């Protein structure tokens, strides 16, 4: 396929036998996507920080009658990314699809979040994707085809309350992805942004820390946790996100952004409708009025039970 013919990139009708790399493949969306793609004919390399922690990933792949090749890799470390992708390219010879999924959460209001915490989250959620993307682009450009999928979040489109470092990292990832999409379009490379809402994942159980150093923002933290308390019982199975990713890299009519999972479409549309001034004014709401207005703009009822 000649460079620039992006309309033909990644349209598959049967077993593809192409190479996909999924970072952060040990849990949640990454694990489900790795198994989903492997079961659809891809040769999948799943990166994990510790090989001995991938028991559930291996079990899921076995149950699906497929295999995910494990690669030890830490997206936050230059040397680890370089070594990991040297191994993948040396073994497989190519990477057709890169899914930048590895990430961490981060709870804090801006006043209570020190710059080092912002940088730590940014190093993983943004710079990790940049490192891995730079590792695969030369051989994608040489072939004139490929797909790079960046797992953002609904918080990449709305400023999620009391999650300042996480929100900042996902907004940055979205901006980088938009620019990247234009940069690599002439080479026939597709860029996809996936924007999940609440999806079944271990990240929620791990993401409970908060500084609350001033005591002035307890209401903000309560509202943030209430959003997840309402959404987790209705959380989308991560395999559904894997299907969205597969569709996004195979469709002959690709889009840049794909909102998916519980709450994502509603929140993005609601945020666009309420406008900037309405969004700021929502923060002034007190007590039950906040949840009433939240439902008005999003259609989501997140009131405490």
Q: Catalytic residue numbers?
A: 166
Secondary structure (DSSP) of the chain: --TT-GGGTT--SS----EEEESSTTSHHHHHHHHHHHTTT-EEEEEES-GGG-HHHHHHHHHTT--EEEEE--TT-HHHHHHHHHHHHHHHS--SEEEE-------B-GGG--HHHHHHHHIIIIIHHHHHHHHHHHHHHHHT-EEEEEE--GGGTS--TTBHHHHHHHHHHHHHHHHHHHHHGGGTEEEEEEEE-BB--THHHH-------SSTTHHHHHHHHHHHHHHGGGPBPHHHHHHHHHHHHH-SS--SEEEESBTHHHHHHHHHHHHHHHHHHHTT--THHHHHHHHHHH-------
- CB 89 within 8 Å of CB 132: no
Structural contact between residues 29 and 243, judged by C-beta atoms closer than 8 angstroms: no
Q: Which residues contact 253 (CB under 8 A, 6 or more apart)?
A: none
In angstroms, the first-to-last Cα distance of the chain is: 56
């Amino acid at each position: 396929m000649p460079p620039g013919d992006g309309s033909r990139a990644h349209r598959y009708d049967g077993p593809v036998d192409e190479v996909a790399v999924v970072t952060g493949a040990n849990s949640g969306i990454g694990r489900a996507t790795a198994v989903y793609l492997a079961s659809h004919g891809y040769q999948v390399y799943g990166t994990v920080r510790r090989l001995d922690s991938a028991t559930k990933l291996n079990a899921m792949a076995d149950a699906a009658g497929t295999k995910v090749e494990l690669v030890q890799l830490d997206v936050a470390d230059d040397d680890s990314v370089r070594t990991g992708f040297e191994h993948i390219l040396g073994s497989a010879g190519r990477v057709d699809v890169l899914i930048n999924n590895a990430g961490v959460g981060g709870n804090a209001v801006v006043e209570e979040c020190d710059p080092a915490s912002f940088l730590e989250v940014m190093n993983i959620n943004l710079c990790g994707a940049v490192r891995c993307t730079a590792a695969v682009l030369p051989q994608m450009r040489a072939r004139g085809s490929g797909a790079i999928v960046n797992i953002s979040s609904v918080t990449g489109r709305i400023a999620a309350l009391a999650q300042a470092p996480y929100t900042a990292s996902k907004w940055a990832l979205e901006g980088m992805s938009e620019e990247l999409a234009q940069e690599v379009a002439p080479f026939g490379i597709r860029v996809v942004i996936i924007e999940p809402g609440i999806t079944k994942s271990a990240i929620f159980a791990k993401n409970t820390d908060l500084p609350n150093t001033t005591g002035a923002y307890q209401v903000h933290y309560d509202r943030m946790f209430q959003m997840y308390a309402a959404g987790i019982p209705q959380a989308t199975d991560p395999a559904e996100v894997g299907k969205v990713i597969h569709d996004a890299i195979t469709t002959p009519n690709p889009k840049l952004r794909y909102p998916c999972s519980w709450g994502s479409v509603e929140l993005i549309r609601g945020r666009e409708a309420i406008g900037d001034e309405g969004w700021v004014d929502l923060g002034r709401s007190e007590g039950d009025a906040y949840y009433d207005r939240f439902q008005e703009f999003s259609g989501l009822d997140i009131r405490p039970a």
